[in-house]
Amino acid sequence: MVKKKNSETQEGEEPGTSGDAEEMEEKKRPVFRNPNYQHQTSIGGKKKTWKSLKQILAQERSLPWPPNTPLYSNIGAPPLLKPPKKFSDISGLEAKYTDPQTKLFFSNAEEFATIRSLPSDIIAGYLNLRGANNPIA
C-alpha cells in the first residue's frame, strides 16, 4: 500500500514527523471498545450455571406473583399464520394430496392405490392415530 503525502503540512515541518504518527495512532484505536470492560468470568472467577426449565418453573411457583403476570408456565402463543404440514398416513412423507373418500393423506399414486385397497377398519385405525374423526362409521 502506498502512502500519500499530506499536502497540508505546516511550514517548516517535514511530512512524517511525530505529529502525523500521533494522528495515525488515534485513527487506529477502535472507538467501540471500552478500556475498563472486564469479561464476566474474569471478574468473579465463577462460571454462570444455566438453569433447566424445571428449575425455573419450580422457582416461579415458590414465589408470590400478582395475578395476570406472564410466567414460563402460562405464556400463551398466538395462532400460527401458516397452515400445518400434512404428512402421509402410510409412509410419513410430506403429503400433497388427500383421498376424498377416506380422508387419508398420501404423497404419491402408489400410496393412493394402497389406501383404496385397505379395509374400512384399518382406515379407521389410521384416522384414530392421526386424531381425525372417522367419517366412515
- Over residues 79-129, the pLDDT tens digits come to 889 999 999 999 999 999 999 999 999 999 999 999 999 999 999 999 999
Residue 4 forms part of a structural domain:
no
How many structural domains compose the chain?
1
Quick one: how far is CA 46 from the chain centroid?
Answer: 28
For the chain, give the mean pLDDT: 80
Of 10-14, 27-31, 68-72, the poorest mean pLDDT is in 10-14
Residue 43 forms part of a structural domain:
no
Residue 123 CA to residue 53 CA, distance in Å, equals 40
Helical ranges in 32-132 per DSSP H: 40-44, 53-62, 109-117, 120-130
Residue 111 forms part of a structural domain:
yes
Residue 38 forms part of a structural domain:
no
Q: Quote the domain boundaries for residue 115.
A: 84-132
Task: Give me the count of residues in the chain.
Answer: 137
